[in-house]
Structure 1
Amino acid sequence: MAMCVRPLLPHPVRLLLPLLVLEVLAPVHGGYDKTSLLRVGFYKQSCPDAEAIVREVVAKAVGDDQTVTAPLLRLHFHDCFVRGCDASVLLNSTQTSTAEKDAKPNLTLDAFDVIDAIKEKLEKKCPRTVSCADILAIAARDAVSLATKVVTQGQWRKDGNLYEVETGRRDGRVSSAKEAAAHLPDSFDGIRKLITRFASKGLGLKDLAVLSGAHALGNSHCPSLEKRLRNFTAQYDTDPTLDAAYGAMLRQQCSTPEDNQTELAMVPGSSTTFDAAYYSLVAGNKGLFHSDQALLSNGATRMLVYGYIRSEKRFLSDFGVSMVNMGRVAVLTGRQGQVRTRCAVINN
């Protein structure tokens, strides 16, 4: 995200912005029909154990490997930003069509096996009832909840969840690699591009700042930030929004630009714990991606960055709200789409 300004604490006046200004940041969901059937507890009658089954499988996966939380969260993000939250990211390519999961931005997606395990259990319990799109949304919620200390320590919600998930989505029948390449946010995006991408999904500046906090979890690889480290522009060899010492360390770790093996923690030392530590890194010019640092180049998003540093509780609360907002993007409900029996292929 192009900006060469060192991060400064917001001017004191900005901290006193009236609520009216913050309301401007609220998203308008152009792709969400408010008369749709999305609601909390959609499967209460048709499959009462649906969310419990998802949680059981996710908890086992996290118990086996704590790093699985980030891939599960990422699957939901990458699904909703292409064609809406319709599980199109899970479809396999066919002889006539290259699917989203085979687009370059999605080649590092993982945890498909966890989704398949959940679907298999749900099909045995409640055949043709729970959509793959809803599985993605619930699994993302469960993954981030299990990575949040205040949740697992019983200091948040009594049900052990960071937020409640609306369900009732149906699965799409189309998956396009070209659409994925065109619509997914890129690690090198600047603030204007990010705002445009989020706005196209009915998501506002606050959603952009909050959902960027998902980078509190997981790892990346050298190709995702190579442009920041070498030959950034004719004027700067290294991205000037990147802390110089941190950049030098990253260049040592990524001595080979094509290195896809070296893992770089999004938040060094706590990449399996979901908290507000990400924002302190951004404020210190140590966000791993150019798109992370872009949050400082807009007054509203910068204000939110510093606000979340001061109040992690506020961040966690806002994150749940923005995840629900994102989960409403261009959903299929009612008789639209289908409920796939296998998430990787459409029903015959």
Structure 2
Amino acid sequence: MNGLTRLQAFLRSNAYDGVLLLSPTNLNYFAGFSGTTAVAFVTPVQAYIFTDSRYTEQAKEQCEGYTVIQYSTTVWDSLRQVVDEEGISLKTCVFEGDYVPVDTYTAIAGKLDGTSFASAKLAALRAVKREDELGLMRRAAEIADEAFAVLLTQLRPGMTENEARIILEKEMLVRGSSEPSFATIVASGKRSCMPHGVASDKVIEEGDFVTFDFGAVYKGYHSDITRTIVMGNASDLQKKLYDIVLTAQKKGVAAVKPGLTGKALDAICRDSIAEAGYGSYFEHGTGHGVGLDIHEQPVASPRSDSVLEPGMVVTIEPGVYIPGEIGLRIEDSVIVTNEGCEILTKTPKELIELDV
């Protein structure tokens, strides 16, 4: 089922008369549009995309099933005109409430008087990936794995976190990544206790834990992986903490299957770390979906009501972070399958003690 078909089925099942799409992610998924300026309007049986002269021809090429309309005054004037001329009954219309600014909503409501509006979480419609999407995500994961392997051959004490980041991101770019999936995390030494310690000018030193959390974007689709290594020989504490996190992470991967809830997946990893005596040092959620956005449905956290289905992609990334001292995280992205899961991120997870 393509994006437009899936969206129209959603409208029919909820008795909505239409939906407005403004976010680049949803315009890409539901309409195929990759430009920067457009609004899509979809009813249960019709689909329109409004754009300006810069993107009219591009929209005609990309947006299969959509009528392309080039607006000259404002997009909302053109929308009003289409609703009137096509005789569309628009009693209820949904939009991306987590994306649309108040001023934009006010402008829409001002043109569509008599219409009731509601917010819709459209990300849920993207949670189960098509096979073509999974193929792109496999390549995005391969790019990240290959780049990390190159980085390990060049990483040395005395290098800054930012210098390591630049090597990693360059190697992803030359392999086809359009950009990093997010601000690359390189957290070494005491900074390894920072779950989101983006790369800094700190010098990486012998004996440091170094956590790398990064990903590639391939044809719009993200990858996400975390590996923590030791610069040189690991201390007893580093070995102990690494084993605790690795055990929890492997338990999480092994548990993935259709029907498992995000809350249950989180508890498997969280309980494992708690049993080892470090439960208070794992405070973030266990995982999240990945796709056109780096954070999507499903979610694995103590409050999650997500239920895993075949074709979903989810990360499993427990960690331990002792404030001001030390920390680490290990993360894989996996595809939920009928039998369990397929691990996208292939870089070995056993502790790497890098020769220095």
Q: State the TM bucket, normalised to the shorter chain.
A: under 0.3
Structure 1 or 2: more strand by fraction: 2
State the TM-score, normalizing by the size of structure 1: 0.24
State the TM-score, normalizing by the size of structure 2: 0.24
Asked which structure has the greater RCO (Cα within 8 Å, sep 6+), the reply is 1
Larger Cα-atom Rg: 2
Structure 1 or 2: more helix by fraction: 1
